[in-house]
Amino acid sequence: MTPLSFSMLRILSDGKFHSGEEIAKTLGVSRSSAWNAAKSIEEAGLALFRVKGRGYRLEKAFEWLDRGKIVRMLGRHPLDIEILDEIDSTNSELLKRNGPHGKVVAAELQTMGRGRMGKPWVGEPGGSLTFSLAWKFDRGAGFLSGLSLAVGIALARAMKDCGIEGIKLKWPNDVLYNFHKLAGTLIEVKGDMLGPTLAVIGIGINFSLSDKAKESIDQAVIGIESMPVDNPGRNRLLSAILARLCDVLEIFEKSGFSPFKEEWSCLNAYDSKPVRVKLPSGKVEEGTLFGLSDNGEILIDSKHGRLAFASGEVSLRGIS
Ligand code: BTN
């Protein structure tokens, strides 16, 4: 979206009608430029009504990410939070900037959001919460196996803090509600084998998804707005997640994944279920999900015995 479209979206975000004339005057542009800006808002996935004689109105009011609100709700914390209108990917941005430690970048819109296993992450302005946190660990990348599971614990705890009950986790890092994907984490690391290591922890959470967005995603997805819970709003959820992440990461950097293993196991959506694991090599293994090893590998009871995997994608057999 162009900067002009974001300015127009700021005017329209109250969910009320605004005439083309008023918008053009406020922004100091022609009415046809305002018309083009409206078109780019629609192309980004927002539903906009145009009514002759009344002007433009968003289908629903838009809650902007607000650094001041987030910082106030977070209280004392070691983070440096930045909110951007648009960026290719918040993960790519923090990798490019090399962190630094404790830096958070959240964006209203990612033009090239990235998911795990080379998949895109689809989100629309206001319809998702997309952000990344940079965290420096003194140890090498090998120590970080299990980090994405610990991040899942932080997400589940924060959602509970915000009144979102019924959350489950799918190994290694999906947050599920009713077996539908609500959120995902992409962790990318930079550093030497022996450390220190910069981990960029990227999180995407669905709030609302248009039919077009749902069609482009190859699995069952859900947004907070269609769940039977009170929507806490993106600012409150982001501050709750950042608070929980700081706690979890401090424990993780001292003791690794094992302090979280039991909690994770209780939240395991596919516990004792028949599953299929697609390995990064493309090979597929089938079996019954047994649980987790101490460092967060998934354990599957297969016809070849108990197998442990450190990476891959798990699906329920008979579903997808
Ligand atoms: C997945 O489930 O596949 C992981 C999704 C991770 C998406 C987030 S959105 C913020 C951050 N920036 C990205 O480009 N990806 C992550």
Q: Beta-strand (E) ranges in 31-79?
A: 48-51, 55-58
Phi, psi (5° rounding) for residue 217? Answer: -105, 135
pLDDT string in tens for the chain (320-residue length): 999 999 999 999 999 999 999 999 999 999 999 999 999 999 988 999 999 999 999 998 889 999 999 999 998 888 999 999 999 999 999 999 999 999 999 999 999 999 988 899 988 898 999 999 999 999 988 889 899 999 999 999 999 999 999 999 999 989 999 999 999 999 999 998 888 999 999 999 999 988 888 888 888 999 999 999 999 999 999 999 999 999 999 999 999 999 999 999 999 999 999 999 999 899 999 999 999 998 899 999 999 999 999 988 898 886 54
pLDDT of residue 284: 93
Determine the residue of 130, 176, 219, 221 to mutate for testing ligand 1's pocket, defined as the one with the most ligand atoms within 8 A of the Cβ atom. Answer: 130
Quote the ligand 1 centre to 29 CA distance (angstroms).
Answer: 35
pLDDT of residue 320: 45
Task: Return the structure tokens found at 90.
Answer: 């918040």
Quote the ligand 1 centre to 31 CA distance (angstroms).
Answer: 37
- CA 139 → CA 99, 179, 194, 196, 310, distances in Å? 16, 35, 6, 5, 19
pLDDT of residue 193: 81
Residue 153 has, within 13 A of its CA and on its CB side, a CA count of 22
- CA 11 → CA 33, 70, 133, distances in Å? 15, 22, 30
Map tokens 């910069």 to a residue: 198
Q: Using N-to-C axis directions, what is the helix angle for 20-27 and 3-12, rounded to 10°?
A: 130
Taking the alpha carbons at both ends of the chain, their separation in whole angstroms is 35
Residue nearest to atom 2 of ligand 1 (CA): 184
Residue 177 DSSP label: E
- Ligand 1 atom at minimal distance to the Cα of residue 174: 2
Ligand 1 proximal residues by C-beta, below 6 Å: 89-91, 110, 113-116, 119, 121, 130-132, 174, 184-186, 202-204
Q: Evaluate whether 252 touches 147 at the Cβ level (below 8 Å).
A: yes
- Ligand 1 atom at minimal distance to the Cα of residue 181: 2
CA separation for the pair 79, 272 (Å, rounded): 39
Q: Please report, to the nearest 10 degrees, the dihedral formed by the alpha carbons of residues 87, 88, 94, 95 taken in order.
A: -160
